[in-house]
Amino acid sequence: QADGMSEVKNGTLTTHVLNTASGLPAAGLAVRLARLQEPGMEWMELAQRHTDADGRCQPLLAPGQAKSGTYKLHFETAEYWQGLGHTSFYPFVEVVFIITDPAQKLHVPLLISPYSYTTYRGS
């Protein structure tokens, strides 16, 4: 456990997902990170992860890997809810954000239920 926690703290970009319907972490949820390429405005996928039993995953950007720009976290929420025997109003959730200071550590959590989601800039 201690090793996992120190690894998470060293990451440039981290996320965690909480199932607000149950109050428990959302385990086994697929997450993808992409960066908007200029010019042409195409998304380039940088990382794929699955959340662990604590609703967290390995950092999506390692220290020194971030660049200034527009990024997108894609969460496969329908697949997650189907696994629990629920239908979901949202087939997936995409959170688009801008990194202005690549040296900063960013944490972008997602709170989900079958009919709503919330995200915020965490610390």
Residue 112 CA, chain-centre distance (Å), reads 12
The answer to whether residues 77 and 64 touch, using CB atoms and an 8 Å cutoff, is no
Q: Alpha-carbon distance 123 to 107, whole Å?
A: 6
Q: Alpha-carbon distance 17 to 10, whole Å?
A: 19
Provide the annotated binding site.
16, 56, 120
Q: Alpha-carbon distance 93 to 33, whole Å?
A: 12
Provide the annotated binding site for substrate.
16, 56, 120
Q: Is 11 exposed, middle or buried (CB count within 10 Å of its CB: 0-12, 13-18, 19+)?
A: buried
